[in-house]
């Protein structure tokens, strides 16, 4: 009885599919900072007119080059940056940010802050005891911690110390999952994450994003910044915001981003990771279709007669050569 009450007050039950229409919407969001110098004050635009929306059940990725404003936008959407220099509207289900909403938000920061000498289980149990409401008994809180451990696949390392600079502990991916666990323990409706996959290999990163998608699937809204996702990981996102120097370059379905840029005349000349291509665009590398130098040699040797007039090999040929290069690389390595 109690559990039902608490979980429904924090969000939807974990077992049901999305039916709610709650929506996080932001319109024309602008953020400026005033940089004070020795003699003068300078106003600097950090974000310019960012508009978008995200629904429960969706994972929204904020992508862009370093310094483009991803963390700033995430902080604004998470209600962590309430200043007079912010303009535009940010609403949750047509309501502005409120104290009640704050209790329904989980925020995983880029830098993990965990006690190095506690084990994974102890960390999550303390989080449950401290953050879950008083109406739950101690046993119910401890059960919630155990549930989160299984939900995040941390059962194998639950008795390992977190570790830090001087104490060896869990791996980077496990550590990141503990940080996510610290936030999902309160069953938030909205989960914000700042670069949850940075420093992880692509398989662990994929598993982390899969976890986020599972969280979204039961009716939560997940907003995450991401640096350079692999192509498999990129396709896991429902929506995408691409930022460049604080301006919005794209907002919409992640799966339609490449088609959109093709429709306005920007398409990759070689087969490449869509995220990498979008970051190139956001960095202003519109014309850089260069091929790695190893490939250039091959292209010139093997396909001199198929070169196009502008000195660049046709895309189909480059693709073929890349594939050749990859397989010869792996077969050589395998023979060693």
Ligand X SMILES: Nc1ncnc2c1ncn2[C@@H]1O[C@H](COP(=O)(O)OP(=O)(O)OP(=O)(O)O)[C@@H](O)[C@H]1O
Residues that bind ligand X (CB under 6 A): 33, 35, 46, 64, 66-72
Distance of CA 41 to the CA centre of its chain: 34
Question: Do the beta carbons of residue 129 and residue 146 sit within 8 Å?
Answer: no
198 contributes a contact to Mg ion by CB under 5 A: no
228 contributes a contact to Mg ion by CB under 5 A: no
Least distance CB 76 / ligand X (angstroms): 10
Distance CA 218, CA 201 (A): 27
Choose among ligand X, Mg ion, none what residue 172 binds, the Cβ cut-off being 5 to 8 Å by kind: none
273 contributes a contact to Mg ion by CB under 5 A: no
30 contributes a contact to Mg ion by CB under 5 A: no
Distance CA 335, CA 161 (A): 40
Choose among Mg ion, ligand X, none what residue 46 binds, the Cβ cut-off being 5 to 8 Å by kind: ligand X
In the DSSP assignment, the letter for residue 309 is T
Taking the least distance from each CB to Mg ion, the nearer of 30 and 71 is 71
Site size for Mg ion, by CB under 5 A? 1
In the DSSP assignment, the letter for residue 17 is P
Question: Do the beta carbons of residue 270 and residue 315 sit within 8 Å?
Answer: yes
Choose among Mg ion, ligand X, none what residue 69 binds, the Cβ cut-off being 5 to 8 Å by kind: ligand X
Least distance CB 150 / Mg ion (angstroms): 31
Distance CA 174, CA 169 (A): 10
Distance CA 208, CA 229 (A): 12
Choose among Mg ion, ligand X, none what residue 239 binds, the Cβ cut-off being 5 to 8 Å by kind: none
Where in 46-105 is the site for Mg ion (CB under 5 A)? 71
Choose among Mg ion, ligand X, none what residue 158 binds, the Cβ cut-off being 5 to 8 Å by kind: none
User: CB count, 10 Å around CB of 207?
Assistant: 17
Q: Which residues contact 171 (CB under 8 A, 6 or more apart)?
A: 157
Indicate the helix (H) or strand (E) that contains 147: helix 138-151
Least distance CB 110 / ligand X (angstroms): 7
Least distance CB 276 / ligand X (angstroms): 15
Distance CA 277, CA 275 (A): 5
Distance CA 291, CA 34 (A): 42
Least distance CB 69 / Mg ion (angstroms): 9
Taking the least distance from each CB to ligand X, the nearer of 67 and 116 is 67
Token duo for residue 282: 């956001």
Choose among ligand X, Mg ion, none what residue 135 binds, the Cβ cut-off being 5 to 8 Å by kind: none
Taking the least distance from each CB to ligand X, the nearer of 46 and 193 is 46
Taking the least distance from each CB to ligand X, the nearer of 47 and 299 is 47
Least distance CB 254 / ligand X (angstroms): 18
Taking the least distance from each CB to ligand X, the nearer of 64 and 106 is 64
Token duo for residue 281: 């665009």
Least distance CB 175 / Mg ion (angstroms): 18
Closest among 132, 140, 248 to 185, alpha carbons compared: 132
Distance CA 252, CA 213 (A): 17
Taking the least distance from each CB to Mg ion, the nearer of 193 and 281 is 193
Question: Do the beta carbons of residue 116 and residue 170 sit within 8 Å?
Answer: no
Taking the least distance from each CB to ligand X, the nearer of 71 and 255 is 71
Least distance CB 92 / ligand X (angstroms): 21
List interacting residues with Mg ion (CB under 5 A): 71
């Amino acid at each position: 009885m109690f559990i039902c009450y608490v979980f429904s007050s924090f969000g939807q039950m974990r077992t049901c599919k999305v039916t709610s229409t709650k929506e996080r919407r932001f319109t024309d969001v602008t953020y400026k900072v005033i940089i004070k110098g020795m003699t003068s004050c300078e106003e600097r635009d950090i974000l310019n007119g960012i508009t978008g929306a995200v629904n429960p059940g969706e994972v929204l990725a904020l992508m862009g080059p370093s310094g483009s404003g991803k963390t700033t936008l995430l902080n604004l959407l998470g209600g962590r940056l309430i200043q007079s220099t912010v303009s535009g509207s940010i609403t949750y289900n047509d309501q502005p940010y409120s104290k009640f909403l704050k209790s329904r938000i989980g925020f995983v920061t880029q830098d993990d802050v965990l006690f190095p000498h506690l084990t994974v289980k102890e960390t999550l149990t303390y989080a449950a005891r401290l953050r879950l409401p008083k109406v739950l008994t101690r046993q119910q809180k401890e059960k919630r911690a155990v549930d989160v451990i299984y939900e995040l696949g941390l059962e194998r390392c639950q008795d390992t110390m977190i570790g830090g600079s001087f104490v060896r502990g869990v791996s980077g991916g496990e550590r990141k999952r503990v940080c996510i666990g610290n936030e999902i323990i309160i069953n938030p409706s909205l989960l914000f994450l700042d670069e949850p996959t940075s420093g992880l290999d692509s398989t662990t990163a994929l598993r982390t994003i899969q976890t986020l998608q599972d969280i979204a699937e039961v009716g939560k809204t997940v907003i995450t910044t991401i640096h350079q996702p692999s192509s498999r990981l990129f396709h896991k996102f429902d929506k995408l915001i691409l930022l460049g120097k604080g301006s919005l370059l794209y907002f919409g379905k992640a799966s339609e981003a490449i088609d959109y840029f093709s429709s306005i005349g920007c398409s990759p000349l070689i087969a490449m990771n869509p995220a990498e291509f979008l970051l190139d665009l956001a960095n202003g590398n519109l014309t850089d279709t260069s091929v790695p130098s190893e490939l250039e040699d091959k292209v010139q040797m093997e396909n001199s007669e198929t070169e196009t007039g502008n000195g660049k090999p046709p895309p189909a040929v480059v693709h073929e050569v890349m594939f050749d290069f990859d397989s010869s690389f792996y077969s050589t390595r395998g023979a060693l």
